[in-house]
Amino acid sequence: SQQGEEDPQALSIQEGENATMNCSYKTSINNLQWYRQNSGRGLVHLILIRSNEREKHSGRLRVTLDTSKKSSSLLITASRAADTASYFCATDASAAGNKLTFGGGTRVLVKP
């Protein structure tokens, strides 16, 4: 079964708005990684946040991690049409043999 569960499954926003998506997981993790996938292509790595970190930023992206709640969030600020994609979280957990386990993904549509 998937370690990470994401919500919402789909998100539609206007250009310029912020988009927030959440990821919950079940076991202790070493790190959690967020990816973007455009239209069925390969995955682009966005951010890795380690278990001892609480927040990381990269450009318009902000990721938080709450290990007590076993959850993470990805915030995209000032969204653009080019941010339209599917976003996946993936956990790296010792219990899973240090292999990435993916959530179901959030499909984000940014309307111009």
Partner 1 sequence: SAVISQKPSRDICQRGTSLTIQCQVDSQVTMMFWYRQQPGQSLTLIATANQGSEATYESGFVIDKFPISRPNLTFSTLTVSNMSPEDSSIYLCSVRLGGNQPQHFGDGTRLSIL
Q: Would you tell me which residues interact with partner 1 (CB under 8 A)?
A: 2, 30-31, 33, 35, 40-45, 48, 50, 88, 90, 92, 98-105
In the complex, the smallest distance separating the C-beta of residue 104 from partner 1, rounded to whole angstroms, is 5
Cis? peptide before 8, omega within 30° of 0:
yes
Q: Which is nearer to partner 1, 10 or 78 (CB)?
A: 10
Q: Which residues contact 7 (CB under 8 A, 6 or more apart)?
A: 21, 22, 24, 106
DSSP single-letter state for residue 59: T
Q: Which is nearer to partner 1, 11 or 103 (CB)?
A: 103
Q: Which is nearer to partner 1, 15 or 53 (CB)?
A: 53
Compute the distance between CA of residue 58 and CA of residue 74 in angstroms, rounded to an integer.
11
Distance of CA 79 to the CA centre of its chain: 15
- At 1, which helix (H) or strand (E)? none
Q: Which is nearer to partner 1, 33 or 84 (CB)?
A: 33
In the complex, the smallest distance separating the C-beta of residue 66 from partner 1, rounded to whole angstroms, is 19
In the complex, the smallest distance separating the C-beta of residue 17 from partner 1, rounded to whole angstroms, is 25
